[in-house]
Structure 1
Amino acid sequence: MKGFLPRTLHPGLQILMLLVFLVAGACVGLAVFYALAQGVFHTSGVEAGNAMLNPKAYPQAWPLLMTYQGVLLFCACAGGALALASALGYRWAEYFNPRRLGAGWWLLAAAALIIVILPFMSTLIAWNAGAHFPGALHGFEEWARASEDRAQGLTTFLTRLTSAGRLVVALVVVALVPAIGEELMFRGVIQKNLVRWFSPHVGVWLAAAIFSAIHLQFFGFVPRFVLGLVLGYLYLWSGNILVSMAAHFTQNAFQLVILYLTQHGQFGWGFDPDATEPLPWTLVLPSALLSAGLLYFLHQRMTAPAAPSAMLTLSSQGVAVHRNEPSA
C-alpha cells in the first residue's frame, strides 16, 4: 500500500498531520450530522444548534445530541487516525497492531482490571474534585468549576436512561465510539509517536497527560490521567490496540449499566454513581492490591517472549521435530 506521506516522517510531524486529519474529519462529521438532522429528525441546522444549547426545550434533543456526539467523535478521532495511517502507506492493522493479539483472554483481563480498579479510583476522584487552586488562581478556579458544572448538566441530561433502548444507544455512543476513536487517536497515534520520539515511559505518560487535559475537566484530571496510564501501558505491553479498546469500553459501559440499574431502582443500598465521595477503605484497599497484582501479571504475560514454534517433517527415519527459534 502506497501513501502520499513518507513512513520515515518525524514523530512530531506525524502528530501535527494527525491534527490536520482531525479537523478534516470533524468537518465531515458536522456535514453528516446536519444531513441526518434534516433527513432523519426533520430539523434544520439552526434548530439543531439551538437544541444543543438548550436541550430541555426540545423534545428531540436527546437523540440529536447523541447523534452529534457519536458522529463527530467517530469521524474526527477514528477517521483522523485511520486517514493518517493510510496516508503513511500502512494497512490499518499493521499500523495500530504491531503485534498480533497474544491470547483472547488478554481482552477479558483488561476489562477485569478496569472493574477491579474502580474502588481505588474513587479516592482519586474524591481528592481531585475537592482540590483548590492557589489564591492567585482563585478566578480561574471559579471559572473552571462553573464550566464543569455546565458540562455536568449536559452529561446528566444525556445519561437520563429512561428505557433499555436509550441504554443501548448510550452504550454505542458513550462507550463503544470513544473506545474505538479515542484509542486509535491517543494510543494508536499520539502515544506511538511520543514513544518513538522520546522513550516508552515518557511517551505513555505524556500521552496520558494529553488524554486527560483535552477533556477540559480540571477537577477530574488526576483520575483520567491514571486511567490514561493504565490504557497506555496495556497498549505498550500488548502491542495491540484491541486490548486498550476493551479496557476503555469496559470503563464507560460498566458505569452506564450501573447508572441505568440505579435509575430504575435496582440498587436499593443507596449507590450513587455520580457521587464524588470515596468508597469505603474495605473496598479501596483490596482494589489497590488486586489492581497492582493484575497489572504485574499482565505485564509479565504480555511482554514474555513468544515460545518457539515447532515444525514436523516426515522422512524415512520417521518424524523429526525442527524448532524455529525466534530471531533476536
Structure 2
Amino acid sequence: MNGLPSRSLHPLLQILLLVGLAVAGLCLASLLALVLATSVFGLSMAQFGELATTPERVPNGWAVSMLLQGLSLAGLGAGAAVLPLVLRTRTQPAERYFAPRPLRQAWWLGAAALLILVSAPMQSALVSWNAEVHFPAFLRDFEQWARDKEDQAAALTKFLTEFTTSARLLVGLLVIAVTPAIAEELVFRGVIQRNLVRWFNSKHVGVWLTAALFSAAHLQFFGFVPRFLLGLILGYLYEWSGNILVPMAAHFTQNAFQLLLLYLAQGRQLPSSFDPDANQALPWPAVLLSTVLSAALLYTLHQRMAATPPLVADPDSTSPLR
C-alpha cells in the first residue's frame, strides 16, 4: 500500500499522530506487562500498582519493574516506527524515513560515542549547578513538588540499578541503555525534530525545540539543563548525519557509561571516594579540557558529516546543517 503522501499532512498533525500512536503503544505495552506480571510472576493488581512507588515491597519487584520499563519504551518506539509506514510514498520507502542519508562511515558511530565520553566532565558541572537551582519565592510550592518528584525518581532509579550480579547488569543495559536509545531517538529526533524543522523551516529551531521537549518529557526539573544539552548534541548529530543510528549510538553510550560506573562502584572496583550518584562537578581543569575537546570534536563531525551527499533526493528529509 502507498499510504498518504508524506507532505500531505501538516507537521503538527504528524506530531499529533505520533503522540496518538505512542499512547496506543504505551497502553498495549502496559497491558502486556500487567498480563505477564499476573500470570508469570503471580502479582495482584494492587501489587502491580505499587511498582511505581514502592517496588522493593513487591515480590520480584526488580524483574517486574524492568519488564514494565522495557515494554513501555518498546511500545513508545513501536508507535513512532508505525508513522513512516502510514506516511510512506512510492518515492520514499519507509525504511528511509529515519535515515535518508547512508551511514557511509562506520566511524561516525564511534565518534558519536566518544563525544559523549569526552563531554562527561563538562556535563558534571552542569549537573552540579542545575541540582542547586532554586525557584523564585512565588514558585516555592512548585519547587517542593518538583524536588519530591525528583527524590521519588531517584529512589526508583537506585532500586533498578542495584546490579548485584553481572546478569542484572546485562538486563539493565538492555532496558536502560539499548531500548531508550532506540525508542526515544525514533520519537524525538526521528519524528518530532524532523517535523519541527519542516514546520519552522529552520534546522536550529527544530533542534532546540526538540531538545527542550526531550528534557521536559523526563519530568526531572533539577536535571533539565544537562539533559537539554544532551538533546542538542543528539539533535545536531542527527541533522548533520541524516542517519538515526548516529544519535542512537550517542544516546546508548550516555546511558551505558553511567550504568557501568554504577556497577564498578557497587563492586568496589572504583575508589571509595567516588560516588556516581553524587551531583558533584569534576575539577575545573577537567571541565575546561572537556569543553574544548567536545567543541573540537563537534566541529570535526559537522565538517565530515555535512560533506556526505543524501541517499535520495527527498524534500522532506533531514539534510546536512551547514
Same fold (TM over 0.5): yes
Query: Aligned letter for 1:256?
Result: L
255-264 vs 26-35, which moves further: 26-35
Matches within 5 A, 1:115-154: 115-154=117-156
Instruction: Look up the match of 2:315.
Output: none
Instruction: Look up the match of 2:280.
Output: 277
Matched, 1:101 2:103: yes
With over 3 angstroms needed to count, the CA separation of the structure-2 counterparts of 1:22 and 1:306, relative to structure 1, is closer
Q: Distance in 1 between matches of 2:99 and 2:199?
A: 19
Q: Deviations over 1:47-84 (max 9, x none)?
A: 22234432121230000000000101110x21111111
Q: Distance in 1 between matches of 2:270 and 2:28?
A: 42
State the TM-score, normalized to the length of structure 2.
0.92
Q: Distance in 2 between matches of 1:179 and 1:66?
A: 16
Q: Distance in 1 between matches of 2:142 and 2:38?
A: 39
Instruction: Look up the match of 1:162.
Output: 164
Residue 225 of structure 2, aligned match among 219, 222, 227: 222
Instruction: Look up the match of 1:294.
Output: 297
Give secondary structure in 2 for the equivalent of 1:185.
helix
Residue 190 of structure 1, aligned match among 189, 192, 195: 192
Instruction: Look up the match of 2:266.
Output: 263
Matched, 1:254 2:257: yes
Higher relative strand content:
1
Contact 1:30 1:72 in 2 (8 A): yes
Structure with greater contact order relative to length (CA < 8 Å, sep ≥ 6):
2
Q: Deviations over 1:127-153 (max 9, x none)?
A: 100001111111111111111111111
Instruction: Look up the match of 1:180.
Output: 182
Residue 232 of structure 1, aligned match among 230, 235, 256: 235
Identical columns (%): 56
Q: Deviations over 1:158-205 (max 9, x none)?
A: 111111011000000000000000000000000000011111000000
Q: What residue ranges of structure 1 are gaps of 5+ in the alignment?
A: 308-328
Q: What residue ranges of structure 2 are gaps of 5+ in the alignment?
A: 311-322
Structure 1 ranges of 4+ moved more than 6 A: none
The alignment covers a number of residue pairs equal to: 306
Give secondary structure in 1 for the equivalent of 2:97.
helix
Q: Distance in 1 between matches of 2:217 and 2:228?
A: 11
State the TM-score, normalized to the length of structure 1.
0.90
77-86 vs 124-133, which moves further: 77-86
Query: Aligned letter for 1:89?
Result: R
Pairwise CA RMSD = 1.5
